[in-house]
Amino acid sequence: MNAVLSRRAFGSTLLAGIALATLPAPARALDLASARALIDRAIAEVNIVINAGKPEAAMFKDFEGIFVKYADVDAIARSALGPAARQASPGQMKAFTAAYQGYIGRKYGRRFREFIGGRIEVVDAKPLKSYFEVISVAHLKGEAPFDLRWHVSNKSGRDLFFNIIIEGVNMLASEREEIGAMLKKRNGDLEALIADLKTA
């Protein structure tokens, strides 16, 4: 059980550690090679941070930076907020997105020390509907290798990562469930949620 939780936390960390935009966004169709190259670059940066030996606070910032660089943060934040995003004002969504990306960096960054010495490598990629799935394998000390699948799209105008599946577990759905529960606990008060995410 602990191994499964550890793996999911690691994958979530990567989700946190790998998200908003990377390519300068020429007007072209996303292809398999581009999707794979995007995740190759993101994973290379994640591997560097995992093994850099930096203090926790510095790791948090590094992973938040990777998140902002390689994933569609706006889409991920809107998905995490769920139905409440439809009622939020543009200003509230902007504030929530900024608070959420910092929260993600800290939340999953706290788990990264458990994975020092590990590595992730891309092994395959394939088209899925309107996006591409890039398949990678995580190798951690004392753990059997496990599967991570990255979903890449350019719907935002740039090649971006917008979800990850870890051993069949959809991390985007997990985040939506967790943020939804946090909002419910605050009686639907989005401003309270935003304030709490800044210090969580």
Q: Are 166 and 18 in contact (CB under 8 A)?
A: no
Q: Which two tokens stand for residue 113?
A: 């020390």
**Cα 172 to chain centroid, rounded:** 8
pLDDT given at position 9: 55
Per-residue tens of pLDDT for the chain, all 200 residues: 555 545 555 555 555 554 433 333 333 468 899 999 999 999 899 889 888 888 888 888 998 999 899 989 999 999 999 999 999 999 999 999 999 999 988 887 776 666 677 888 999 999 998 899 999 998 888 889 989 899 999 998 899 999 989 888 898 999 999 999 999 999 999 999 999 999 88
Tell me how many helices (H) and strands (E) the chain has.
8, 5
Q: Are 149 and 133 in contact (CB under 8 A)?
A: yes
For residue 23, the SS3 value is coil
Q: Which domains does the chain have, with CATH numbers?
A: 2-197 (3.10.450.710)
